[in-house]
A and B are shown apart, each in its own frame.
Chain A
Amino acid sequence: MPPPRRAKPKHPLRRFPTPTLPPLARSRVALGLTAFAARGVFALQVCRDCGTVHYPPQEACRHCLSARLDWRPQDGAGEVLSDTVLRHSNELYFRARVPLRLGSVRLDAGPTAIAFVHGACAAPPARVRLHAALDRGGAAVLAALPDDEVTTMADDRVLRELTNDPAGRKVLITDGRAAVAAPLARALAAAGADLIYVGMAEPWPPAAVAPYAQIPEALVRPLDVTDSESVTDLAAEIGGKVDILINTAEHHRPRGILARGTESARAEMEVNYFGLLRLAHSFAPGMRARAADGAVAWVNVLSIFALTNFPPHGTFSASKAAAHSLAQGLRAELRGAGLRVVNVYPGPIEEEWSDMLPPPKIAPAALAAAVVAALRDGVEDVYPGDVAQDWLARWRDNPKALEREVAER
């Protein structure tokens, strides 16, 4: 099936709408749902004492009053009991999007929830899968999809807004020399991206540019994230068109902090931290203004080493930790416009500066596929590959233990 494209070219003189957001307020306990949805996981609270599964989120078990409720991933299997179509809302965000199909879904695990219902779901009673996805404001909402493996949120007019699908959109990859860049451009083209701008600090040697000549949607443009002038120049040229920005620019030199001079560490910061800051200053304001006109997402390719320092790549880890912090701040500043900041935390990538690290390493093509999947699924935190998943699990369990473990490799 060809990927969906924009219905028709936009009228050039049409006033584009001001970005609005759905209601944002959530209790602290309800943010547990958001925390998992950010990674594409539907989780609910399960009582450790009696096993009752809860929705909506609770402070204590409604069955046995235990306070020991644990968030656990759910398969979302359930049944639509009833549905309705909402044709009016006083919320500005929903007013612009009615009619909305809503329904009551009873999960096999027990609780019943009100959810958005995908247009492809049969009339109730019908088997569905319940998903937790982030809305434009970054808060978790529930969506019921048909119980098959093929229907996606992007196939539904309303649920498409919960995704950042590259189909029909214009994408900027900031550094075409990164190992992930060419596979990413190919994956975006296959996903139906309308145009793929590829930044390149220097257009030589020819081998660096060659992969993009094979991709009809790709346009190579000069961009050096260490040079403010270069970044503002490109933003002046294409800043009003970029719907998805994917920052792949990375400077990586292995070895520990005592083996690396300050100049090498500074070069990493210039690209990995200040590069992101320069891109934010030049591209984010325009994207924020166009958030109701197609601009949807900002992707940062970070590193799992941002969570805890990997001493054999000590200065690199530190620069990625700085970028991770900056990206969190950027996410907060862009959320108000409904722009999704997607942070990707791969383990070591199969590239030249990780050549002394033993496998497993994530292949650039696998990383590219993870980025495209993250955009399609609307998630905001991505830990692609075995190493990243392993580190994440150990970090969530006990950050101090992970710090010690990776220091003793």
Chain B
Amino acid sequence: MPTDVLMRLAEALATGAVRVIDLSQTLQPSTPVIQLPPQFGASNPFRIEEISHYDDRGPGWYWNNIALGEHTGTHFDAPIHWVTGKDYRDGYTDTIPAGRFVAPACVIDCSKEAAADEKFLLEPAHIEAWEGKHGRIPKGAWVLMRTDWSKRTTPESFLNMKDDGPHVPGPSAAAIRFLIEQRDVNGWGVEAVGTDAGMAFGFEPAFPAHHLMHGAKKLGLASLTNLDQLPPTGAVLITPPLKIKNGSGSPLRVLALVAG
């Protein structure tokens, strides 16, 4: 490959021919985290405490201590996150090959369906219909489910907790199986708080976007935003998690490179 391909990319970035789109939520104390029954351990929300602010604690500088769970805000799910992926030595945040952190993305627009049905499930038929218009999902690509869920700005409406569980759209087990077995994707990303549908605790298997994806050493991205600014195909995602030793995931800044 000619070395000037990167120089041409740099030039395209400088001229705006390639734009950088931020797919990350702002991390703040009100950032919603996944809710589990209280007898389970709970992931910490994002917390920030000032160390000094140009004051008696440090006259010339401002900085904070932060604390949060690995799966808080816009975050990366490593294969080791789920019990089905527990034996992958290259499935931790610090051992996943870095090449997997830069990959193209296919964006399936389910925003109309999710607006009509908060419990909308993406099925293989929807994926095949999308491929009919935009072409076959390439091996090693991210598949992102656009629901416009990120436009729900209050934690209540974002988590959408109801008496029978969260009403949040997501993939069916069959759709996940299709993406793994038929398309060999890099991973699966969503706008909601987790990669699975709200009612996925009752699926077979439960939580397929975790159980099956991570069992197949695939990656996950949750709490993405701005998917409405991506083309159906052609965007390249940059998704490096923090290099946490034996990390199961990480909050991260997700960037998309988009032509034009």
| A89 interface contact, C-beta 8 A | no
Tell me the chain B residues, 158-182 only, with Cβ under 8 Å from chain A. 159, 161, 163
B163 touches A205 (CB 8 A): yes
CB-defined interface of B10-52 with A at 8 Å, one 1/0 digit per residue? 0000000000000000001110000000000110110111100
Q: Is the CB of A263 within 8 A of B47?
A: no
**Least CB separation from B46: chain A residue:** A227
The answer to whether B29 touches A205, judged by C-beta atoms less than 8 angstroms apart, is no
Number of interface residues of A (CB under 8 A): 14
A202–B163 alpha-carbon span in the complex (Å): 16
Q: Name A residues whose Cβ lies closer than 8 Å to a Cβ of B.
A: 202-205, 224, 226-230, 261, 263-264, 267
Residue in B28, B47, B163 whose beta carbon sits within 8 Å of that of A226 in the complex: B47
The CA of A224 and the CA of B45, in the complex, are separated in Å by 11
Let me know if B156 and A230 touch, CB within 8 A.
no
Interface pair B42/A267, CB less than 8 Å apart: yes
Given contacts A261-B41, A264-B41, A267-B42, contact A230 B163 (CB under 8 A): no
How far in angstroms is the closest Cβ of chain B from A103? 52
CB closest chain-B residue, reference A261: B41
Given contacts A227-B29, A227-B47, A228-B48, contact A263 B41 (CB under 8 A): yes
- Does B231 count as interface, using CB distance less than 8 angstroms? no
Q: Nearest Cβ distance between residue B59 and chain A, in whole angstroms? A: 21
Per a CB cutoff under 8 Å, which of A205, A228, A263 touches B49? A228
Chain B residues, CB < 8 A from A203: 156
Q: A205-B163, A224-B29 are in contact. Are A229 and B155 (CB under 8 A)?
A: no
Cα-based distance from A202 to B47 in the complex (angstroms): 16
Interface residues of B in 41-81 (CB under 8 A from A): 41-42, 44-45, 47-50
B29 in contact with A204 (CB, 8 Å): no
- Minimum Cβ distance to chain A for residue B160 (Å): 9
Tell me the bound Cα distance from A264 to B47 in angstroms.
16
Cross-chain contact B29 with A229 (CB below 8 angstroms): yes
Interface size (B, Cβ < 8 Å)?
Answer: 16
What is the minimal beta-carbon distance from B121 to any residue of chain A, in angstroms? Answer: 24
Contact assessment for A205 and B161 in the assembled complex, using a CB-CB cutoff below 8 Å: yes
Tell me the minimal C-beta distance from A78 to chain B in angstroms.
54
- Establish whether residues A202 and B156, one from each chain, have CB atoms under 8 Å apart when the complex forms: yes
A residues in contact with B161, CB < 8 Å: 204-205
How far apart are the CA atoms of A224 and B32 in the complex, in Å?
13
Distance to closest chain A CB from B36 (angstroms): 13
Which chain A positions have C-beta within 8 A of B42?
267
A264 CA / B159 CA spacing, docked (Å):
23
Min CB gap A199→B, angstroms: 14
Contact of A230 with B29 in the complex, beta carbons under 8 Å: yes
B200 CB → nearest A CB, Å? 20
Could you tell me the distance in whole angstroms from the C-beta of A326 to the nearest C-beta in chain B? 17
Contact: B155 with A202, CB < 8 Å? yes
**Residue in B closest to A226 when the chains form the complex, CB atoms:** B47
- How far apart are the CA atoms of A263 and B156 in the complex, in Å? 25
Nearest-neighbour CB distance to chain A for B154, whole angstroms, equals 9
10 contacts between A and B (CB under 8 A): A203-B156, A204-B159, A204-B161, A205-B163, A227-B29, A227-B45, A228-B47, A228-B48, A229-B29, A263-B44
Question: Given the complex, which residues of B lie within 8 Å of A230, measured CB to CB?
Answer: 29-30
> Would you give the shortest CB distance from A243 to chain B, in whole angstroms?
27
Using Cβ atoms and an 8 Å threshold, which residues of chain B touch A205? Answer: 161, 163
Q: Please, which residue of chain B has its CB at the minimum distance from the CB of A278?
A: B49
Bound Cα distance A227, B30 (Å): 9
Q: How far is the CB of A137 from chain B (nearest CB, A)?
A: 30
Contact A204 B49 (CB under 8 A): no
Q: Give complex CA distance A205, B160 in Å.
A: 10
Docked complex Cα distance between A267 and B42 (Å)? 9
- Provide the bound-state CA to CA distance between A129 and B29, in Å: 54
Complex CA gap A240/B139 in Å reads: 61
Contacts of B156 on A, CB cut-off 8 Å? Answer: 202-204
Chain B: minimal CB distance from A315 (Å): 13
Report the Cα distance A203→B47, complex, angstroms: 19
Q: Tell me, rounded to whole Å, the shortest Cβ–Cβ distance linking A209 to chain B.
A: 11
Closest to A264 in B: B41
On chain B, the residues within 8 Å of A229 by CB distance are: 28-29, 48
